[in-house]
Structure 1
Amino acid sequence: MKKIVFLLLCTCATAFAQTPTPEQMAQKQLEAYNQKDIKAFMDCFSEDVKIYTYPNTLEVEGKAKMQEQYAQFFNSAQTLHCTVIKRIVRGAFVIDEESVQYNATTFGGVAIYEVKEGKIVAVTFMK
């Protein structure tokens, strides 16, 4: 009887611990970005994340390097807020048209997030 209860509890716990969808991960990192919460933001990315400028210029490789750059960016921002104008979700990809307010400047762009196993593995920015 104890084995049955244990197996049932394990099955229920596994059912509730589902991998987040690509859209959920894109939203989670957006919310952490807007809060300038570097820990919550970086938790969304894989260890070997790659950041590109469109079409394929590698700007940053690896979570440690990315965290170093974003920590400086967050610290230098008195005002930082990203608004998604339009979002497209297609399989493992989330494409956001964004408007970003950084201090007194507002700029737009497109971010393409690739998500695998519940982590963002690549981001490509289009200006």
Structure 2
Amino acid sequence: MDPLSPAYPVHMQLEAYNARDMDAFMIWWASDCQYHVFPDQLVANGAGEIRERHVERFKEPNLHGRLLSRIVSGNTVVDHETVTRTFPEGPGEVDVICIYEVVEGKIAKAWFKLGTVRLHH
């Protein structure tokens, strides 16, 4: 993958997410980045809040984001993923549409639209 492509930081942060490597994950987020639940609910403002949001999540042993498709248009990257997690109700998965705005090689803004959680039985 071309390191100059807007998809590169998105790809690298997904790899770090799956490795549960906080330091490798955070280098791809701009210091003043914004993290939203789609369409406009700001849930983390700045890299510190994004890090804080992921500390507990990265402790989940089954955490994994599986990329299903990716679209790149200008500096916007749209991923469709299935994310496996341990939810309060138990282990399961959820489809997520992830929209990233990449500026100067870092994720500046992100929006996440979650589908319905499917618990594993």
**1:1-80 map, 5 Å:** 20-75=4-59, 77-80=60-63
1:92 aligns with 75
2:57–2:63 CA contact under 8 A, matched in 1? no
Larger fraction in strand: 2
Query: What are the superposed Cα offsets for residues 16-50 of structure 1, whole Å, 9 maximum, x if unpaired?
Result: xx963211111000100000000000000000010
Query: What are the superposed Cα offsets for residues 65-113 of structure 1, whole Å, 9 maximum, x if unpaired?
Result: 11111112112x0111101111100010100011001132111110001
Take 1:80 and 1:113, find their aligned partners in 2: how far apart are those partners?
Answer: 20
Take 1:118 and 1:98, find their aligned partners in 2: how far apart are those partners?
Answer: 21
* Percentage identity across paired residues of the two chains: 33
1:110 aligns with 97
- TM-score norm. by structure 2 comes to 0.85
- TM-score norm. by structure 1 comes to 0.81
Take 1:97 and 1:68, find their aligned partners in 2: how far apart are those partners?
Answer: 24
Equivalent residue letter for 1:64: G
1:19–1:117 CA contact under 8 A, matched in 2? no
Going from structure 1 to structure 2, the CA distance change for 1:19 and 1:96 (only over 3 Å counts) comes to: closer
- SS of 2:72's equivalent in the other structure is strand
Equivalent residue letter for 2:70: R
Gaps of 5+ in 1: 1-17
Take 1:83 and 1:32, find their aligned partners in 2: how far apart are those partners?
Answer: 13
2:109 matches 1:125: no
Take 2:56 and 2:63, find their aligned partners in 1: how far apart are those partners?
Answer: 13
Gaps of 5+ in 2: 115-121
Take 1:80 and 1:41, find their aligned partners in 2: how far apart are those partners?
Answer: 14
